[in-house]
Structure 1
Amino acid sequence: VETEDGLVGLGEAPTPAAAAIINDVLAQRLVGRDAFDIAGAEHVSLPFWTGVQSINDRTRIMAFGAIEMALWDLRGKAWNQPLYQLLGGAVRKDIPFTDYFSLRGNGAGVKGETTPEAVTDYCVELHETHGT
């Protein structure tokens, strides 16, 4: 998610179908809205929330989850605060960490990586663009 001021918040969609919903449906509903109004973004993205019935609804909910992640990331960046602080503070000093990466399939606006070299290039690009 990018604000009019150029601030970028990152979120992660769990599936290509969720990413497609973000790009094809939700983005146009959210453009021009207040990036700090997460509840308002949820309302326009999930107007059916009280009657979730199908797998399509589930995919749309996952898609909004990625947007919500990005909106929280934006808050932290805009207010120069780590996300854990915005959520009430640290509850532990150390946590276990496991490195994780998933191959992306080809899809709407997504170039899938098909070789180890392409995966490496993609990871370097992410690091150069967004940091750690």
Structure 2
Amino acid sequence: MNAPISTNAPTPTRVHYHKQARELELGYATGENFRLPVEFLRVYSPSAEVRGHGGDTAVLQVGKKDVGLQNITQAGNYALKLHFDDGHDSGLYSWNYLYDLAQHQTDYWQNYLQRLEEAGASREPASIQFKQL
């Protein structure tokens, strides 16, 4: 899923959440600027709940198309903690991990869409099924 993550990724100088677009913008002193969709960040959460505990224990995240952020907090000088509106808030997004996601966004996203298709799953949130009585 992921290539080796650089251990010397730059620290963002700007972090901005575009609520309407549901994108997290990261700006760097180098002039690089990335906008990462919140859905992408959610399905690639570094938490054990998503990534598993090693091997093939990762859990495919489905129905996250409309997920947003409730809050963003900084964890020391090395990471962000993202608080998603679906209740997920475990896992720290290190500067290295965020930079890796930004650098490989297209490939990772295509990989995710392929895994969804293979599983017969959807990005769409599950709808409530009402039964006629």
TM-score tier, shorter chain, comes to: under 0.3
User: Could you state the TM-score of these two structures normalised by the residue count of structure 1?
Assistant: 0.27
User: Could you state the TM-score of these two structures normalised by the residue count of structure 2?
Assistant: 0.27
Larger relative helix fraction: 1
Bigger radius of gyration among the two: 1
